[in-house]
Amino acid sequence: MTKANIDQSDIIWRKSHYSNPSGNCVQIAERGDQILIDGRVMVRDSKNPDGSVLSFTKLEWQAFIDGVKGGEFDLR
């Protein structure tokens, strides 16, 4: 994971349709119909849209998704 320093002028940010109604969630960047921006997945906090943008490689993002699906981050 690294902080992203990219041109965001043509990026649309979206959040999961599973997000809670309060809007406190993470968003991922899309350019056209692609979530990979310069080969990376960009993520930001919806509560702080002008704050830091984190970027992940495709492999890092897939490992995170697999961990979520596998319950790795479930609260106990």
Helix (H) or strand (E) holding 36: strand 36-37
Do residues 16 and 25 make contact, with C-beta atoms less than 8 angstroms apart? Answer: yes
Contact 55, 43 (CB under 8 A): yes
Does residue 12 lie in a domain region? yes
pLDDT of residue 18 exceeding 90, the answer is no
Full domain range(s) for residue 30: 2-69
**How many domains in the chain?**
1
Q: Give the model's pLDDT for residue 76.
A: 77
Strand partners, 3: 54
| Residue 38 located in a structural domain | yes
**pTM, full prediction:** 0.72
Can you tell me the mean pLDDT for 22-43?
A: 83
Q: Which of 37, 2, 6, 5 is nearest to 14 (CA)?
A: 37
76 in a domain, yes or no?
A: no
